[in-house]
Structure 1
Amino acid sequence: MPHFSIEYSANLDERVDMQALCALISRTVLETGLFEVGAVRVRAFRAEAYSIADALPENGFIDMSFRIGQGRTDEEKRRTGEAIFKAVGDYLAPLFDTPHFALSLEIREIHPDLSWKKNAIHPRLRGK
């Protein structure tokens, strides 16, 4: 149940292809070998209202949140976070050429007793 959410400032619309970024993150998550294809969800949410640092209009941000189920070691989670952060950082490298961009990533584990799921995609992808 890896759910990846991207929240981003609206002023990045013309500078970042969010669909391509979502696809990049999905590929990177799957390349770790730790997650099942049918479980991966990546989505982006545009923040229309925001205030960043010194409130300059050119300031922008991308805040990434990765919620995963329990069962992976700290090392596996660290490697996954590093792989995602590197792939996204490389993709967004031009934004770091200005002093107006912030990128963050947090991985959180979901408590299994406090999470409910029903997935009709798994049986199709598993061939059942």
Structure 2
Amino acid sequence: MPNFIIEYSAPLTEQISDDELMDQVFTGAKNCGHFPPEAIKIRTEMRQKYRLHGQQQDFLHVSAHILSGRTDEQKSEISNAVLMELKKLSLSNVFVSVEIVDIHRPSFVDHSFN
């Protein structure tokens, strides 16, 4: 835990790779100071069809799914740390957003199958 899900428009791959996106999000998540690096999980989801404000514009959206219990200030620190790293990329004509999603702590379960 946490799970960072990177959604992006398909044409964005002309500007950046999945690995570069995951590296930047990982750096931001690590630098925020709220998670041990070994607990951070990241995955990407490319979108072929999408609309932004009625037009085809590239987008990049990061959802950070974290266990509930953090303050609004802590959540803001997490999202701003990730956004700061994404701003370092040389992207053009891209709408970028980051959100924090609380996971209901009492009902969350996970397990690693080996």
Per the alignment, residue 104 of structure 1 pairs with 97
User: Residue 113 in 1 paired to residue 113 in 2?
Assistant: no
CA distance in 2, matches of 1:52, 1:75: 28
- The aligned amino acid for 2:80 is E
Q: Which runs of 5+ in 1 are unaligned?
A: 121-128
The secondary structure found in structure 2 opposite 1:94 is: coil
CA distance in 2, matches of 1:119, 1:33: 25
CA distance in 2, matches of 1:15, 1:67: 26
Provide, for residues 83-113 of structure 1, a one-character-per-residue CA deviation record: whole Å limited to 9, x for no partner.
111111221x431xxxx42111110111112
- The aligned amino acid for 2:51 is S
Q: Which runs of 5+ in 2 are unaligned?
A: none
Q: TM-score, normalised by structure 1?
A: 0.77
Q: Return the match for 1:64 from 62, 74, 81.
A: 62
Higher Cα Rg, which structure? 1
Q: Return the match for 2:80 from 54, 57, 82.
A: 82
CA distance in 1, matches of 2:62, 2:9: 12
Aligned residue pairs total 114
Report deviation, 1:73.
2.6
Per the alignment, residue 126 of structure 1 pairs with none
- The aligned amino acid for 1:75 is E
Report deviation, 1:61.
0.7
Moved over 4 A (4+): none
User: What's the C-alpha RMSD, in Å, of the aligned pairs?
Assistant: 2.0
CA distance in 1, matches of 2:50, 2:29: 28
